[in-house]
């Protein structure tokens, strides 16, 4: 029997506010759509490069900024779903997708003809451009410069391989941590997101020690989910990449386009905080040890810190906790957005979702009804969801 299924990524989404039709998307849809998205993006880049007109913002930067619509559409759904509702099938898709996307990104980063057009606009008179246009232009120009457009071919080839390996290995590290976090829950009966609460409220010292050791050893147990070798490999790759691009450390490469600029600035800033924090920490340890009657161990910190708060300040987390129920926190968040920025949040019912039991979707708008965007929230942990996803 011939399937009548049509790949939703190739269709217009007839859904409220263009929300992805999750219930129609099959795992087998991603890679064909991803490859087609790359093909279309390449065609868009070629059209920019082959434009015979003198490069300017409208014929070079604007189409470059708006290019890759289908590719972005596919990636947006794939990586959202794979990190929140992962499965072995989705892991296989991501494993196939990452090198394709890494190669595609490198093709753009090392496209000399495209760079020359961007550079021509960047070095031309920018006085007619808006501030927003100047920022977009600078971001594209700087991206070429910092990713190695000026390097010889052999160095660019080496960077291609490094970038691909880093993306694949960091994905594996994340999956390993998820597997270890699920093993933690299976062993103790609560998720790692509850760890700090349990460390604060568990009276049994031996249990706290077990929680601490299991939590801190995730990815470091010498099993199939061990990350030790992977992390060292990623570090080595990042060191190689930084050196190729002319930086003495990966930190200086990462910070080169940030406000801090370099690792020395960050180290100086953190050192000032650390000196003050250590003085305060030593004071707090004395208060805790006075209650415990013995030296404080790492698994004791949160437990006895709470005891000190109760004793010195009559502050009990158990009494405060009900005020921080998730619904109260979300309401406070939206109330603040309304007060500060005039943003209204409206819960949308019966709209597509990758996990209807866990996801809530909100329409964000201004008082005049103009749409800002759609916010999808997914607050709670589960076995298929990586830390920080949602």
Partner residues linked to 371 by β-bridges = 365
pLDDT digits (tens, 9 = 90+) for 331-383: 999 999 999 999 999 999 999 999 999 999 999 999 999 999 999 999 888 88
Q: Compute the average pLDDT of residues 210-231.
A: 97
* Residues 229 and 366 both lie in one domain: no
Of 53, 49, 51, nearest in space to 41 by CA? 49
Q: Compute the average pLDDT of residues 230-237.
A: 98
> Which class for 114: exposed (0-12), middle (13-18), buried (19 or more C-beta within 10 A)?
buried
* Residues 176 and 273 both lie in one domain: yes
3-class SS at 239?
helix
Q: Mean pLDDT over all residues of the chain? A: 94
* Residues 176 and 101 both lie in one domain: no
Going by the DSSP 8-state scheme, the letter that residue 191 receives in this structure is: -
Partner residues linked to 362 by β-bridges = 347, 375
Is residue 169 a contact partner of residue 163, using CB atoms and an 8 Å limit? Answer: no
Determine the Cα–Cα distance for residues 350 and 361; give it in Å rounded to an integer: 9
* Residues 120 and 241 both lie in one domain: no
pLDDT digits (tens, 9 = 90+) for 151-205: 999 999 999 999 999 999 999 999 999 999 999 999 999 999 999 999 999 999 9
> Which class for 284: exposed (0-12), middle (13-18), buried (19 or more C-beta within 10 A)?
middle
Write down the pLDDT at residue 317: 76
Is residue 383 situated within a structural domain? no
* Residues 227 and 358 both lie in one domain: no
Centre a 10 Å sphere on the Cβ of residue 227 and count the other Cβ atoms it contains.
21
pLDDT digits (tens, 9 = 90+) for 68-78: 999 999 999 99
* Residues 318 and 329 both lie in one domain: no
Determine the Cα–Cα distance for residues 301 and 319; give it in Å rounded to an integer: 20
Q: Which long-range contacts (CB under 8 A, 24 or more apart) does 151-159 make?
A: 151/244, 151/245, 155/244, 156/106, 156/110, 158/240, 158/244, 159/106, 159/241, 159/244, 159/245
Write down the pLDDT at residue 383: 84
Residues 6+ apart with CB under 8 A from 206: none
Is residue 382 situated within a structural domain? no
* Residues 288 and 348 both lie in one domain: no
pLDDT digits (tens, 9 = 90+) for 261-279: 999 999 999 999 999 999 9
* Residues 29 and 52 both lie in one domain: yes
pLDDT digits (tens, 9 = 90+) for 11-39: 999 999 999 999 999 999 999 999 999 99
pLDDT digits (tens, 9 = 90+) for 128-159: 999 999 999 999 999 999 999 999 999 999 99
Query: How many domains does the chain divide into?
Result: 3
Q: Compute the average pLDDT of residues 282-289.
A: 96
Instruction: Give the structural domain span for 84.
Output: 8-150
Looking up residue 314, the CATH number of its domain turns out to be 1.10.1370.10
Is residue 178 situated within a structural domain? yes
* Residues 240 and 330 both lie in one domain: no
Q: Of 279, 299, 322, which one is at a domain's C-terminal end? A: 322
Write down the pLDDT at residue 140: 97
Centre a 10 Å sphere on the Cβ of residue 94 and count the other Cβ atoms it contains.
20
* Residues 195 and 278 both lie in one domain: yes
* Residues 193 and 56 both lie in one domain: no
Is residue 387 situated within a structural domain? no
* Residues 25 and 144 both lie in one domain: yes
């Amino acid at each position: 029997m011939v399937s009548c299924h049509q790949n939703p990524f190739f269709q217009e989404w007839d859904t409220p506010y263009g929300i992805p039709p999750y219930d129609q998307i099959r795992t087998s849809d991603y890679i064909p759509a991803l490859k087609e998205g790359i093909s279309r993006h390449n065609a868009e880049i070629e059209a920019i490069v082959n434009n015979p007109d003198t490069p300017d913002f409208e014929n070079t930067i604007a189409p470059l900024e708006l290019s890759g619509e289908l590719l972005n559409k596919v990636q947006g759904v794939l990586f959202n779903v794979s990190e929140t509702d992962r499965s072995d099938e989705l892991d296989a898709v991501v494993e196939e997708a990452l090198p394709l996307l890494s190669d595609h990104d490198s093709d753009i980063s090392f496209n000399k003809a495209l760079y020359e057009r961007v550079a021509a606009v960047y070095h031309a008179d920018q006085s007619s451009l808006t501030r927003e246009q100047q920022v977009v232009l600078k971001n594209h120009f700087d991206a070429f410069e910092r990713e190695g457009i000026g390097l010889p071919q052999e160095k660019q080839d080496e960077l291609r391989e490094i970038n691909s390996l880093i993306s694949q290995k960091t994905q594996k590290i994340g999956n390993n941590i998820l597997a270890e976090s699920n093993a933690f829950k299976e062993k103790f009966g609560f998720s790692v997101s509850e760890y700090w609460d349990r460390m604060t409220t568990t009276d049994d010292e031996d249990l706290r020690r077990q929680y601490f050791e299991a939590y801190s050893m995730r990815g470091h147990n010498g099993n199939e989910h061990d990350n030790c070798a992977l992390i060292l490999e990623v570090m080595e790759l990042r060191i190689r990449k930084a050196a190729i691009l002319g930086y003495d450390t990966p930190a200086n490469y990462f910070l080169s386009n940030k406000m801090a600029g370099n690792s020395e600035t960050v180290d100086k800033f953190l050192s000032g905080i650390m000196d003050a924090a250590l003085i305060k920490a030593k004071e707090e340890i004395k208060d805790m040890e006075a209650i415990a009657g013995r030296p404080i161990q790492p698994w004791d910190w949160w437990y006895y810190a709470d005891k000190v708060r109760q004793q010195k300040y009559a502050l009990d987390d158990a009494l405060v906790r009900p005020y921080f129920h998730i619904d109260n926190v979300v309401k406070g968040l939206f109330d603040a957005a309304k007060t500060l920025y005039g943003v209204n949040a409206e819960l949308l019912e019966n709209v597509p979702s990758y996990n209807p039991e866990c996801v809530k979707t909100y329409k964000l708008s201004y008082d005049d009804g103009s749409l800002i965007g759609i916010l999808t929230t997914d607050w709670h942990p589960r076995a298929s969801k990586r830390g920080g996803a949602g």
